[in-house]
A and B are shown apart, each in its own frame.
Chain A
């Protein structure tokens, strides 16, 4: 079991650029969650999917953020345009069912200059 795989591990970009973060959940898991972590705000739930369908996106901070899950093995989180305040570590997590414990990836550290 390879666990949840996120890419890239680190991303440095300039303000105004588009950023795409990628996540491959554990095979067979039906639910996928995106979190953001900063020193000031801790771990924040952005959006989660069940069976590839977005269930709750109330945590997505602005329209600049969008997330997709085109199939059971892949999800993306896109920020367009990016801003310095988007700098954070973004985590993806998956679970076998919505009520099952979460398995987290190692995160993508995003720096927007």
Chain B
């Protein structure tokens, strides 16, 4: 079972920041939070991951709360090409390294 909860869908105006929340209240201390997105019927694409500290790369920023029970993916200036399903994943802590995908958030960027 997926260990994360995400809103089913969100809209964002083009050029504005898109903030995608994720709850992972049962996360363990050694589990990373990963974000992927899937555009149309392509394979999922890795975006970013983090453990405790906030992370930033060329695609997005990841903000993790101090208690690690939730996180937010930020796309600073959303474009139409960012329309996709975004998945937040907490990797299995048992050492099996399973990536269990939930239902994700369908982000629609509006012109």
Contacts and interface: CB of A to CB of B under 8 A. Distances in A.
A98 B91 CA distance: 11
Contacts of B98: 45, 48, 56
Contacts of B101: 35, 42-45
A44 B49 CA distance: 20
A75 B61 CA distance: 34
- Report, as a range, how many residues of chain B touch the other chain: 20 to 34
Contact of B99 (A4, A45, A107): A45
Contacts of A43: 44, 87, 101
A62 B100 CA distance: 19
Given A43-B101, A101-B49, A102-B46, A107 B96 contact: no
Interface residues of A, number: 24
Contacts of B44: 43, 91, 93, 102, 104
A12 interface: no
Contact of B43 (A48, A56, A91): A91
Q: Is the interface of B mostly helix, strand, loop or mixed?
A: loop
B100 A45 contact: yes
B34 A101 contact: yes
A31 B41 CA distance: 23
B43 A104 contact: yes
B45 interface: yes
Interface of A: 4, 31, 33, 35, 42-45, 48, 55-56, 89, 91, 93, 98-99, 101-107, 109
The 9 A-B residue pairs whose C-beta atoms are closest, nearest first, are A104-B43, A43-B101, A98-B97, A101-B46, A104-B44, A91-B43, A106-B43, A105-B43, A56-B96
Interface of B: 32, 34, 36, 41-46, 49, 87, 91, 96-104
18 contacts: A42-B103, A43-B87, A44-B101, A45-B98, A48-B97, A55-B96, A55-B97, A56-B96, A89-B41, A93-B44, A98-B97, A101-B34, A104-B43, A104-B44, A104-B45, A106-B42, A107-B42, A107-B43
